[in-house]
């Protein structure tokens, strides 16, 4: 069992915990939603994905963002997962990201979708 993210207290009044697979999902979300330079002592951690919400939409920007996000996930979580696909869609002020990955420990493929509104 791992500590759940974001930190919260469970119904027993203890630090909430989660399964290993859900912990990996939480870590994927952390990489996606953290901007490089935001973490002390880890200046390259994150993907810069949220900047896309405010950028003018274009196919070139979407392609570049997908590659950047995939590279960040591979760099920070490559020992835990193999990233198969990343799709990023920005519509108005909403950003939808789908990440397909294989958990290396179990070889289970997962698809997680993250939606963020500005």
74 pLDDT higher than 80 = yes
Q: In this structure, are residues 102 and 84 in contact, taking their beta carbons and an 8 Å threshold?
A: yes
Total tally of structural domains belonging to the chain: 1
For 27-52, what is the mean pLDDT?
Answer: 88
For 63-91, what is the mean pLDDT?
Answer: 89
pLDDT of residue 94: 75
- Measured between alpha carbons, how far is 86 from 91 in angstroms, rounded to an integer? 17
CATH of the domain at 90: 3.10.450.40
pLDDT of residue 8: 62
pLDDT of residue 19: 79
Q: pTM for the whole thing?
A: 0.79
How are beta strands 94-103 and 81-91 bridged, if at all? antiparallel
Query: 76 is in which domain, residue-wise?
Result: 2-117
16 pLDDT higher than 90 = no
């Amino acid at each position: 069992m791992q500590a759940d993210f974001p930190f919260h207290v469970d119904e027993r009044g203890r630090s909430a915990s989660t399964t290993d697979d859900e912990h990996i999902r939480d870590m994927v979300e952390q990489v996606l939603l953290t901007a490089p330079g935001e973490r002390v002592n880890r200046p390259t951690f994150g993907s810069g994905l949220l900047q896309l919400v405010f950028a003018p939409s274009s196919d070139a920007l979407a392609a570049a963002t997908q590659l950047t996000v995939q590279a960040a996930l591979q760099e920070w979580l490559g020992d835990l997962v193999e990233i198969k696909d990343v799709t990023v869609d920005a519509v108005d002020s909403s950003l939808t990201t789908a990440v397909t990955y294989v958990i290396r420990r179990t070889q289970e493929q997962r698809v997680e979708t993250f939606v963020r509104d500005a």
